Amino acid sequence: MKISAIRVYQVDLPLVEGRYSWSEGKYVEVFDSTVVELVTDAGMSGYGEVCPLGPFYLPAFGAGARAGIAELSATLIGEDPTAIGPINQLMDRALLGHPYVKSAIDMACWDLLGKVCGKPVCDLLGGRFGESVALYRAISQRPAGEMAENVAGHRADGYTKFQLKVGGDPADDIERIHAAADVLSAGEVLVADANTGWRVDDALRVANAVRDRDVYIEQPCRSYEHCLTVRRKTALPFILDENITDIEALMRGHNDGAMDVINLKISKVGGLTKARQIRDLCVTLNIPMTIEDSWGGDIITAAIAHLAHSTPESLRFSATDFNSYVTVRNATGAPQRVDGRMQASDEPGLGIEPDLDALGEPVAVFGGQ
């Protein structure tokens, strides 16, 4: 089997809530998603998706993903997409860095591998643990009272883990955390995610003010060193996200005792292949993980479900159902939230079929038509 063509689609994903807001006044109303179709000479296609959280969250943006895929296309045409190791090596040699560019291609390769083997990607990533995967809900940054109301509202959807978007004015963030903590029920989990938005002094001020609350502090500052300083001065459990970009960053954090939990984002590390490597190392090191991506629609949600469902339950801190946040369906067969949980498909590959009406015409085609 060889890649005969690469088709690239651009899909806008408007938000159900209208606007998603986080640290430092950043927000997105419509996400720019890129879907990749790898067409093979065997008459079979595989699909992947990458959807950065705007151009100001990580060093990634939608048009950049499409430009990077164009750069890689000549390297990939004629290669075997089921030879996932060599494909990743080729991409890394042809384009240094830019892991998010490679993520959708790698995802499409896993989709094809599953279809060829007649197995769901979950099985190929290690096998299914448990019946379903618990999800968290991100609570967009709003005034404290409104965020507390949103926690209570999403509880009705079955969520028991809530990620508050803070990283603004410390006094406002203290109020937000207290307001949300006041409405938590027994067994629910609260995470205060600053998304790199605080200075060290801001983070310490907030952590000290909420030290008697049952809350996790997530990625308070932009640099690893500043996060480590905060970590060493608070007893609250600690999550790193933006700083965990590869295996080296994970090992540095583990050796420094810099975190209790990590967020493992598929596109941030370069795709399912490298996410699986980090996931497996976390299992060895006994580090819990939230398994997710920067954002996305049905295809990314399916990939998250397969990686999360093949992760031991004891180390699965949470996962994300991004397709419930957006109004456009870009594929059928993707997991759907039921009582705050989702399941990976039992169908071969990712278990999805693209919605061709939603995808529209390709914005780029490389190789045979």
For residues 137 and 150, what is the distance between their CA atoms, to the nearest angstrom?
A: 10
For residues 74 and 341, what is the distance between their CA atoms, to the nearest angstrom?
A: 40
- Name the residues annotated as catalytic: 165, 265
Which residues, including other chains, have CB under 8 Å from residue 108's CB and lie 6 or more apart? 36, 37, 38, 46, 47, 48, 81
Phi, psi of 362, rounded to the nearest 5 degrees:
-60, 145
E-strand stretches of the chain: 3-14, 20-21, 27-28, 30-40, 45-50, 133-134, 136-139, 161-165, 189-193, 216-218, 238-240, 261-265, 289-292, 316-319, 331-332, 341-342, 353-354, 364-367
Burial class (CB in 10 A: 0-12, 13-18, 19+), 333: middle
Phi, psi of 142, rounded to the nearest 5 degrees:
-145, 180
